[in-house]
Amino acid sequence: MKRKTKTSSIARADRPIRTQAYVHIHRMIVTGELAADSVVSELAIARKLGSSRTPIREAIGQLVAEGLLEQTPNRGTAVVQLKRQDIIELYELREVLECYAASKAARLKPYPSELEQWQVHADGILALKEELEKSGKPILDTEQMQQFTACDLSFHAMLMHLAANSRMLKVVNDSRLLIRIFAMGRHAFDVVQLDRLYHQHDQIIRAVSDQNPELATKLIAEHIRTSVQERLSAFDAWERDASMRKNMPTFF
């Protein structure tokens, strides 16, 4: 055990502090440890990593450039808090890129092994739906939502992989991460939603497998448009709750 720990520690030491800081902050955002609008402390991260504040500041600057953090005069640096228009624009970007990817993937004729791997990600959502039905619970719990997120992210990442464009994959992944920052802890799926999502994913796979670019494009567009409407409804509900808490703090 000691030997393994030593090797792991050396591996971390070999990475520049700036890279360690970037990975550390990025992971905190992805896992929800740093929620939307949370302030990022240069000093706290520097102490945790045992470094000066300069590489931490550089890592934060990179995350600001990538749109995950934002700097304000009075508060310093915080995790980005999406506005309604941000959500619309991110989904519009996804629709353009993923529609193109679906069409291209259908024309490229993926290998059977790739389609099987893709189907595994779709089937993961079906398994969660069946698990939820058996439990009798109304919605997925936190652990199940993490499993759902992994399946969903992998499904869409696989679509971009089949389109053979790594630059598009990075843009889509970045946009999905921004959306996840807003959604984290605010929305969990029920059986009806999981069933719909599974069938949408399954139909997209079939259209690509059948080399039908027109149908694949139509299905992914419908899938993304449904998602944006759900996300906007969740945003509107969150905004109403936030307004009530601000105006009537006694009742909350």
pLDDT digits (tens, 9 = 90+) for 168-193: 888 888 888 888 776 655 567 899 99
Domains (range + CATH), the chain: 9-79 (1.10.10.10), 84-244 (1.20.120.530)
Distance CA 19, CA 58 (A): 9
**What DSSP designation does 39 have?**
B
- CA-CA distances (angstroms) from residue 70 to 23, 26, 67, 169? 17, 14, 7, 23
Cβ(155)–Cβ(201) below 8 Å: yes
Task: Check: CB of residue 209 under 8 Å from CB of residue 110.
Answer: yes
Percent of the residues in the chain that have a pLDDT greater than 70, as a whole number: 87
Q: Are 163 and 101 in contact (CB under 8 A)?
A: yes
Residue 213 has pLDDT above 70, yes or no: yes
Residue among 14, 28, 22 at smallest CA distance from 55: 22
Using the predicted structure, report yes or no on whether residue 127 has a pLDDT greater than 70: yes
Does pLDDT of 201 surpass 70?
yes
Kindly indicate the confidence band of residue 252, based on its pLDDT and cuts at 50, 70 and 90: very low
Q: Which two tokens stand for residue 164?
A: 């053979």
| Cα–Cα distance list, 149 to 30, 49, 146, 196 (Å) | 11, 29, 5, 15
The reported pLDDT for the residue numbered 188 is 79
CA distance 117 to 174: 23
CA quadruple 240, 147, 178, 28: dihedral sign: positive
Q: What beta strand segments (E) does the chain contain?
A: 69-72, 76-79
Indicate the pTM of the whole model. Answer: 0.78
pLDDT bucket at 9, cuts 50 / 70 / 90: very low
